[in-house]
Structure formats: structure tokens, C-alpha cells
Structure 1
Amino acid sequence: MDLKLSGKTVLITGASMGIGEHLAETFAQEGVDLHLTARSAEKLAALKQRIEEKFDVTVALHPIDLSEPGAAETLSEAVGPVDILVNNAGAIPSGSLWDVDEAAWRKGWDLKVFGYINLCRLFYAKMKQAGGGVILNNIGNGGEVFDPKYIAGTSGNASLMAFTRALGGHSLDDNIRVMGINPGPVNTDRIYNMLKKRAASDLGDESRYTELEKSYPLSRPAHKHEISDLIVFLASFRSGYTSGTIFTVDGGISSRRSII
């Protein structure tokens, strides 16, 4: 299937690892030129080298901490106009209301919640001036599964879901599509760190995290390509009538509910 993305330009935040790293390679495979940002200049440089060895695309790096005041504006000026924005940076800490203090809660929200909002504000205006574009917010199914042991994250993700729907509901009036993706557990370092933390608290032994993993659909987290392939498709013209909605990819976890 030809997605007709070759020659387009994408900005991916949180691109140095996990879903963001894999997403950069997936867009590059489609011939999309890349602007990549994350805090680690070293990891970004290694990713740039790997991509340029395999694909004929340009890769511009922007090492920056998006939780810092004014970082979004600095990044926007450095990047210039893009066709696609993928908000992916941020990992809100897990834990109960008493585990996550105010400082940790605010730090997580500054990077992910306000980081997404600030970049949408800046790049939406650029896209409107240019005649259109696509914004994709990688959020997470915590916004649908109200877990008290992930209370800062579930609250933040739910807020971003509402934000994405509100912005994307009318954005096609400006020829801009805004969508959200809610992955469940994905086979990245982050999910295994969270599983080990939960195994330590619930089972008394972090090495028993594999027992928790077996409770997932298919007894595994999602593969990274099962998330990145959807995001790239949604960014393409083949999804041109899609906006103001959220796509959940969690193997049905958020639908496992019962009245008793």
C-alpha cells in the first residue's frame, strides 16, 4: 500500500527510545524527512546514523528538554514548518496518590500534558498558515483504565484525550487532522520497569514481573510496530477523513469490564 508520504516532513518528540525511536525508523522507511527531539543527544546521534545508513532521508536532531520553560518555542523556531507532528515525549510516573508527590506529579505533567499542548498550539498555527497538516498525540490507555496505582498518568492521559478530541473536532475546517493513539503495554524498557515495580509492590518480588506479563492479551505486550504502523497510516492521505478521535491499541484491556 502506497501511503504517499515520501517527501513529507515529520517532527517526533521523545524520539531517542521506545515507540519514538521505532516510529522514526518507520517514517524513514516511507521516505519521510525527520526532525527528532529528545533529551539525549548521544542516543539521537546513534539513531540518526542508523537511519541514514538504511534510508535516503534527511535527519535533523534537536536535543532539548521539553519540560523546561520556553523549550517548545525554542524547538518550534529551530524546526520550522512540518507536515506532521507526533507528540510522544513524556513518561508520567506510576504510583498511588501517596506515592507520587506534587513535585513528581508536576514534572510528569510539564513534559507530557503541557508539552503536548504547547507544541500543538505552536505547530497548529504553522500548519494552518501552510494550508494543512497532521497532529498525532501518543497518549496511552491509562486515560481509559482508571488505575489508582497510576493515578498521575491516568489523570494526565484522560486530559490529553479530551484535549485531542476538542482540538480535532473542528480542525478539518483548517485542513488539519488531530488524532490520539492510546497504546496499552508495549515491549519497551518502560513497561518492563513498570511491571517490575508493580511485582515488587503486589507480589513482594520484582523478579516475578513475568507473572504479570502473562495476564496481558496474548500473554505479551504489543510489539512496537503494532503502534508505529498505525501512527504512520493515520498520518497518510489514506486516513484523510479522520480527526478528533482516539485509537486504542491495547489488545482489549480497556474493554475488559464487568458489572460485578
Structure 2
Amino acid sequence: MQLNLTDKIILITGGSKGIGLACAKLFLAEGARVAICSRDAANIQAALAQLPGAIGVTADLTDDIAAAAMVAQVEAKLGPIDVLVNSAGAAKRTAPEDLTPAAWRAAMEAKYFSYINVIDPVVKLMAARGRGAIVNVIGNGGKVASPVHIAGGAANAALMLATVGLATAYAPQALRVVGVNPGLTETGRVAEGMISTAKLAGVSVEEARTQSIAKIPLGRMATPGEVADTVVYLASDRASYVTGVIVTMDGAASPVVV
């Protein structure tokens, strides 16, 4: 299947690791021109070694001014952004007894505003041009509450609503906005989160991992590449009538209709 992504300009936040890095590799394989963003310059350099032809920009996306400047820098170097993939933020998993107002606020900054601060300038640029696609990699914690991911899950839920709302608002300008909700995926973020899960359950990290996988009907976590396959398809013209939806990828762990 031809995805018609050759020479498309792709911006991937969180593109130096995990799902974001897997997306960058796949977009490049499809002939796209790719920019990745991370707040860590060393992580960008390590990722670029695996992404021939891509460019990297360092920015703290919890800062709206820095996020807007990053977008402007990417467009100055590559041209108008055709596709934005948000995969940057990750709220720290926290046991309920360790939650504080500051922890709730930090979760919203890390996950919600790190996306919104990039979406805001990009969606307006895309609307003015009458084209574009935004794919938000969110997380199923916004749909299924987890005791160690309450604050982060609330940020995810807010992103789900923002995704669908923006899709509706900007559909007349031929923009598409879609969300992908991965379940447990083999990433460093999930591995770090298992520490909090283990603490709450009073078991070892390895046992917490075994118990978590046992709840997935497919019997394993997703790989970053599997999530990337879905993201790249949704960003392509092959998904031209798909907008305003959240695609769950959790191995049937949450068998619900809506």
C-alpha cells in the first residue's frame, strides 16, 4: 500500500525515544522529511544517528514560547509542516498516597500542556493552508483509571477531549486530528512506571510486570513499532476520512464498545 508520504514534512515531538523514535524511523522509510524534538540534546544526537536525513530541535515543550519557537525553527529549515505527531509528554506514575496538588499540576504540564503548546501554533498554521494532520499519542490511562496513574490519566483524558474537539472545529479547513491510545508498550517510560505499580502491590518489579501482562488477552505488551505502524497510517492520505476518533491499542485489555 502506497501511503503517499514522500517529501511530506513531519514533526515528531518526543522523537528521540520509544514510540516517537519508532515513528520517525517509519516516516523516513516512507520517504518523508522528518524533524524530531526532545528537551535533551544528548538524546536527540543519539536518535539522529539512527535517522539519516532527519533534523533535531531541542525544546522544553512545557514552555509555550519555546514550543512556538521550535515550530518556527522546523518550518524555517524544512518548510510547512504537513503532519504533527505528538509523543513527547509523560506524567510520572505516582501512588495515590504520594499525590499532592503539585504532582497533579506537574502531570498536566508534562502530558497535557507539552502537547497543547505545540498543537496550538501548528493547527493554526495548518488551518491557514487548508491541509494537515495531527496524531496525538495519548495513552489508555485516560480511559481506564489506574491507581498509580490518576493524575497522568486525567491529563490523558483532557487530551482525548481536546483531540476530538479540535478535529470537529478544524474539519472545515480540511484538517484531521486523531488520537492513539496505546496500552502497555515496551518502552522505558512503561518500565519506569512498573516501579510505582510494584510499590502499590507490594511485589517485585518483575512480578508486577508479569501480573500486568497476564491481564492482556494477547499475552504481551505492544512494541513501539506496532504503535508507529498505526500512527503513520493515520497520518497518511490513506486515512483521509479518519478524524475525531481515538484508536485504542491495548491488546484487548479493555474490551469496551466506546
Would you say same fold, with TM above 0.5?
yes
Question: Match for 2:129: what amino acid?
Answer: A
Deviations 1:145-165 (A, max 9, x none): 022331101111111111111
| Stretch of structure 1 that moved more, 89-98 or 230-239 | 89-98
Residue 19 in 1 paired to residue 14 in 2? Answer: no
Correspondence list, 1:175-254, <5 A: 175-212=174-211, 213-254=213-254
Consecutive unaligned residues of structure 2, counting only runs of 5 or more, are none
Within 5 Å, which residues of 2 pair with 1:19-98? 19-52=19-52, 58-80=53-75, 81-98=80-97
SS in 2 for 1:217: coil
Conserved 8 A contact 1:35-1:60: yes
CA shift, 1:74, in A, is 1.5
Give the letter for the 1:186 counterpart: T
CA distance in 2 between counterparts of 1:200 and 1:112 reads: 23
- Displacement of 1:69 in angstroms is 4.8
Q: 1:218 to 1:161 in 2, by over 3 A?
A: same
1:126 Cα deviation from its structure 2 partner: 0.8
CA 170–70 in structure 1, closer or farther in 2 if over 3 Å, else same? closer
The amino acid of 1:209's aligned partner reads: A
CA distance in 2 between partners of 1:210 and 1:166 (Å): 35
Query: Aligned Cα RMSD in Å?
Result: 1.7
Report the counterpart of residue 164 of structure 2 in structure 1: 165
Mind listing any 5+ residue stretches in structure 1 that lack a counterpart?
Answer: 53-57
What letter matches 1:167 in structure 2? L
**8 Å CA contact retained: 2:60, 2:67:** no
How many residues are aligned here? Answer: 252
Deviating more after overlay: 64-73 vs 122-131: 64-73
**Residue 116 (structure 1) shift:** 1.4
Q: Deviations over 1:63-106 (max 9, x none)?
A: 11112352212212212220000111111122244322222322
Between the two proteins, what is the percent identity of the paired residues? 36
CA distance in 2, matches of 1:217, 1:105: 31
Aligned partners of 2:142 and 2:111: how far apart in 1? Answer: 13
The residue identity in structure 2 corresponding to 1:219 is G
The question of whether the paired residues in 2 share the 8 Å contact of 1:168 and 1:179 is answered with yes
The aligned amino acid for 2:63 is E
Q: Under a length normalisation based on structure 2, what TM-score does the superposition of the two structures give?
A: 0.92
Contact 1:15/1:24 (8 A) holds in 2: yes
Q: Is the 8 A contact 1:92 1:105 kept in 2?
A: no
Q: Does the residue aligned with 1:177 lie in a helix, a strand or coil?
A: strand
Higher mean C-alpha deviation, range 136-145 or range 113-122: 113-122
Tell me which amino acid in the other structure corresponds to 2:37: T
